[in-house]
């Protein structure tokens, strides 16, 4: 006997996936079905924003906002979706594939409740959903766990880049000694430091620290899609147990053998495991320079008081500005700077800065023969010529960078 009397209520939708295209996240589809049967829908980014204010959205308990690397360009939109969802009393589970820690951090700060990496680990979505619905028994004393930490040890290392504007302007010397001074900066609580030689061809970090160049580096750098922390760790070499070094590959390779994604992944990986990531860059601009520039917290451009440096500084400035890249991130550092007493030298520095329209923020003294000798012995200056004026200046720089980072961390 059929009657039209008891039409079952259509299942209210209790959750939605929100993504560029949910088909990119087929494991999420499976897990949503497993957890919710039919009681969920899928929305695009723009649709989601429109939907939150509709009456049908009232039954919505959470959204699973799924994003990958490409969506990072739309971080503002994603942030807005989170804000609006939260304002409508809807919880947000962030599902992220290949998204940088910086972006994740930003989205979690917008109020995303849970973070699950994609591909989804077994049961992870269900567990995140369960956590959403457990009444908040947050004891006041217990800090809320940082969701990011679930995927492994997660730091947010500062990225410090050194780029010599002309060959021999001291980029590698600066990168090595700065990395080493950072490792020594606080004996009681030494920060972890990773030094990365991205000067793939000229790379002399290994020579200056007397470390072998290994074939495995190239393999790791060109297969970053499958790189995990073990693989990354294997590519590193320790200098005196205090500094981890990713040397340049053993073979002379073209600079574009790696691409922006590779570089981004390596930087992300390093950042998530070290307090400081120091990068020595090639002197030419490459396809992935922009990636490094964007990742950098501080970007030192090393120059000398000569025509070559001046011309290259100008070229770099024009190149960055024409591409709308953050030129203001550059901190110009003058190597082999004239002494205080050298008045004509000092006025030349001033004129150089003015004529290039740059401010020379840092001056490093000539350290004489000791600097090259130290490198020849495979040692940082601190270990071979601790009183060298160049060493002292770099040590000062390291401690001021460290102080800065700490006061930022306290302010946050």
- State the residue for tokens 């960055």: 320
291 binds ligand ADP (CB under 6 A): no
Q: Would you call 272 helix, strand, or coil by DSSP?
A: helix
| Exposure string for 296-335, b = 16+ CB within 10 A, e = fewer | bbbbbbbbbbeeebbebbeebbeebeeeebebeebbbbbb
Residues near 78 by beta carbon (within 8 Å), at least 6 away in sequence: 45, 65, 67, 71, 107
Nearer to Mg ion, 172 or 291 (CB): 172
By CB under 6 A, residue 195 contacts ligand ADP: no
Write down the least CB distance from residue 212 to Mg ion, Å: 18
* Residue at shortest CB range from ligand ADP: 164
372 binds, among ligand ADP, Mg ion, none (CB under 5 to 8 A by kind): ligand ADP
The H-or-E segment that residue 43 falls in is strand 40-43
172 touches ligand ADP (CB under 6 A): yes
We find the least distance from the C-beta atom of residue 163 to ligand ADP, in angstroms, to be 9
Tokens of 194: 């990773």
Crossing angle, helix 124-133 and helix 26-36, to 10 degrees?
A: 50
Candidates 66, 96, 112, 371: give the one binding ligand ADP (CB under 6 A). Answer: 371
- Report the relative pairing of strands 243-246 and 276-281 from DSSP bridges: unpaired
Q: Per CB under 5 A, does 172 bind Mg ion?
A: yes
CA distance 408 to 175: 23
Nearest-CA neighbor of 335 among 309, 303, 358?
303
> What are the residues facing 40 on neighbouring strands?
15
- 228 — phi, psi (to 5°)? -120, -175
- Judged by beta carbon, residue 284 or residue 400, the one nearer ligand ADP is 284
Q: Which of 16, 66, 179, 375 binds ligand ADP (CB under 6 A)?
A: 375
Determine if 164 is a binding residue for ligand ADP (CB under 6 A): yes
Give yes or no for residue 366 binding ligand ADP (CB under 6 A).
Answer: yes
Tell me which stretch binds ligand ADP (CB under 6 A): 8-16, 27-35, 117-125, 371-379. Answer: 371-379
**Secondary structure letter of residue 288 according to DSSP:** T
206 contacts Mg ion (rule: CB under 5 A):
no
Give yes or no for residue 281 binding ligand ADP (CB under 6 A).
no
Q: Which of 173, 224, 291, 363 binds ligand ADP (CB under 6 A)?
A: 173
Report the residue number, 118 or 300, with the smaller CB distance to Mg ion: 300
In this chain, which of 184, 209, 278, 390 binds ligand ADP, going by CB under 6 A?
A: 390
Measured from the CB atom, is 15 or 316 closer to Mg ion? 316
Q: Which is nearer to ligand ADP, 69 or 392 (CB)?
A: 392
By C-alpha distance, which of 397, 392, 398, 390 is closest to 371?
Answer: 390
Name the minimum Å distance from CB 162 to ligand ADP: 8
Q: Based on the shown chain and the rule CB under 5 A, indicate whether residue 244 belongs to the binding site for Mg ion.
A: no
Residue 264 contacts ligand ADP per CB under 6 A: no
CB atoms < 10 A from the CB of 366, how many?
Answer: 15
DSSP 8-state secondary structure symbol assigned to residue 119: S
Tell me: does residue 331 bind ligand ADP (CB under 6 A): no
Q: Residue 300: what are its φ and ψ, rounded to 5°? A: -90, 125
Q: Does 372 bind ligand ADP (CB under 6 A)?
A: yes
User: What is the C-alpha to C-alpha distance for residues 229 and 37, in angstroms, rounded to an integer?
Assistant: 36
Residues found near ligand ADP in the complex (CB under 6 A): 164, 167-173, 204, 335-336, 364, 366-368, 371-372, 375, 390
């Amino acid at each position: 006997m059929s009657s039209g009397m008891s039409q079952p209520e259509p299942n209210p939708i209790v959750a939605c996936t929100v993504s560029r295209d949910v088909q990119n996240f087929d494991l999420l589809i499976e897990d949503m079905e497993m957890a919710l049967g039919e009681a969920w829908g899928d929305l695009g980014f723009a649709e989601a924003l429109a939907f939150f204010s509709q009456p049908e959205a009232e039954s919505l308990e959470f959204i699973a906002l799924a994003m990958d690397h490409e969506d990072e360009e739309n971080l503002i939109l994603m942030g807005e979706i989170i804000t609006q969802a939260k304002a409508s009393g809807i919880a947000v589970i962030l599902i992220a594939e290949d998204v940088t820690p910086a972006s994740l951090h930003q989205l979690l700060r917008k109020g995303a409740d849970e973070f699950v990496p994609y591909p989804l680990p077994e049961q992870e979505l269900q567990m995140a959903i369960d956590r959403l619905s457990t009444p908040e028994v947050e004891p006041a004393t217990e800090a809320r766990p940082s969701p990011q930490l679930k995927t492994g040890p997660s730091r947010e290392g500062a990225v410090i880049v050194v780029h010599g504007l002309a060959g021999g302007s001291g980029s590698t010397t600066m990168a090595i000694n700065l990395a080493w001074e950072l490792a020594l900066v606080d004996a009681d609580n030494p920060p972890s430091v990773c030094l990365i030689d991205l000067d793939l061809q000229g790379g002399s970090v290994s020579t200056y620290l007397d470390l072998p160049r290994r074939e495995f580096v190239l393999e790791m750098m060109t297969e970053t899609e499958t790189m995990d922390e073990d693989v990354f760790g294997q590519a590193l070499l320790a200098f005196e147990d205090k500094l981890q070094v990713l040397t340049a590959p053993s073979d002379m390779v073209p600079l574009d053998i790696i691409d922006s994604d590779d570089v981004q992944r390596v930087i992300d990986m390093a950042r998530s495991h070290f307090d400081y990531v120091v990068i020595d860059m090639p002197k030419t601009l490459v396809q992935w320079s922009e990636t490094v520039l964007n990742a950098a917290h501080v970007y030192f451009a090393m120059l000398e008081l000569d025509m070559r440096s001046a011309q290259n500084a100008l070229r770099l400035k024009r190149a960055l500005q024409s591409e709308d890249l953050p030129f203001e991130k550059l901190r110009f550092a003058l190597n082999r700077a004239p002494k205080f007493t050298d008045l004509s030298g000092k006025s030349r520095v001033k004129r150089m800065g003015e004529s290039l329209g740059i401010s020379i923020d840092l001056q490093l003294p000539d350290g004489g023969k000791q600097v090259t000798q130290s490198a020849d012995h495979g040692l940082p200056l601190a270990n071979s010529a601790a009183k060298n004026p160049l060493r002292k200046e770099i040590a000062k720089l390291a401690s001021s960078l460290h102080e800065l980072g700490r006061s930022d961390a306290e302010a946050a």
